[in-house]
Structure 1
């Protein structure tokens, strides 16, 4: 993963998320769901796990000085059953965290995460896998911007 790709992906995600405070229509009043505190913890835990998995694969040197994470980084990079589990569990946590959300959006999120997993473990070319990652991250950012209300927000905006 090149630095330009990572910066572009981060930039697009930030722009999507910045739309939320700038557009009073977001989140969508009829489709948004308030996360419970438990759902928020599951969702954020899944996001952290997916970010760790991606970072361990593409930026292994980030973890060189963090000895306790060394075995996990090695497991991710071995591309075996342990690596698959370290991807699937966080992906499921994300989906469980937003399970009460709009079904079509949830299906899109699930399909994008599935495409990342398939392109990662089925031997797809790197550019195809990076494309799947880009789509999945944009889908996650879009989902948060459009459908997620934080636990402390009681009612949808009119």
Structure 2
């Protein structure tokens, strides 16, 4: 993963979240659902797990000198442990977003499935990176368009 890809992905995500702050119509009142505290914790844990998995694969050197070496090695082994270290955080994200619009949740589930398939089925790197980009944009868009944090009141239609 190049730095340009990472910065482009971060920039696209930031623009989507910025739209949430700037556009008073967001989140979409008719479809917005407030996340519970448990949903938020599950979502954050899942995102952290997926970010760790991605960083362990593409930016292994950032973990040098940290006690996470065995986990990083498990991720890079591309075996059952590596698959579980991807599937569990992905499932946590989906469980955390389970109350959201079912169509966007299905899109997110398919995007995460596509990431997993391209990762473990030996797809070309550019296909896998495209899947990662699509999954991140799907998650960020779903949060920006439909999710209300637990500390805010529900949106009024």
TM-score by length of 2: 0.98
Q: Distance in 2 between matches of 1:116 and 1:79?
A: 14
Counting only pairs closer than 5 Å after superposition, residues 85-104 of structure 1 correspond to structure 2 as 85-104=84-103
Distance 1:39 1:13 in 2: 21
SS of the residue 1:10 aligns to: helix
For 1:85 and 1:155, locate their aligned partners in 2 and report how far apart those are by CA, in whole Å: 35
Map of 2:18 onto structure 1 = 18
> What is the number of residues matched between the two proteins?
157
| Match runs of 1:64-75 below 5 Å | 64-67=64-67, 69-75=68-74
Q: CA RMSD in A?
A: 0.7
How far off is 1:121 after superposition? 0.2
Structure 1 gaps of 5+ residues are none
- Could you state the TM-score of these two structures normalised by the residue count of structure 1? 0.98
> Is the Cα–Cα contact under 8 Å of residues 32 and 154 in structure 2 kept in the other structure?
no
CA deviations 1:115-154 (Å, max 9, x no partner) are 0000000000000000000000111110110011000112
For 1:119, the equivalent position in structure 2 comes to: 118
1:86 positional shift: 0.2
Q: Which residue of 1 aligns with 2:59?
A: 59
State the alpha-carbon separation in 2 of the partners of residues 145 and 70 from structure 1: 34
1:43 corresponds to which residue? Answer: 43
Task: Tell me the SS of whatever aligns to 1:65.
Answer: coil
Match status 1:131 vs 2:130: yes
**TM-aligned CA deviation for residue 157 of structure 1:** 4.0
Residue by residue over 1:76-119, the C-alpha shift from the partner in whole angstroms, topping out at 9 and shown as x without a partner, is 00000000000000000000001011000000000000000000
CA distance in 2, matches of 1:106, 1:23: 22
How far 1:65 moved relative to its partner? 1.6
Q: Is the 8 A contact 2:27 2:145 kept in 1?
A: yes
> Take 1:88 and 1:120, find their aligned partners in 2: how far apart are those partners?
12
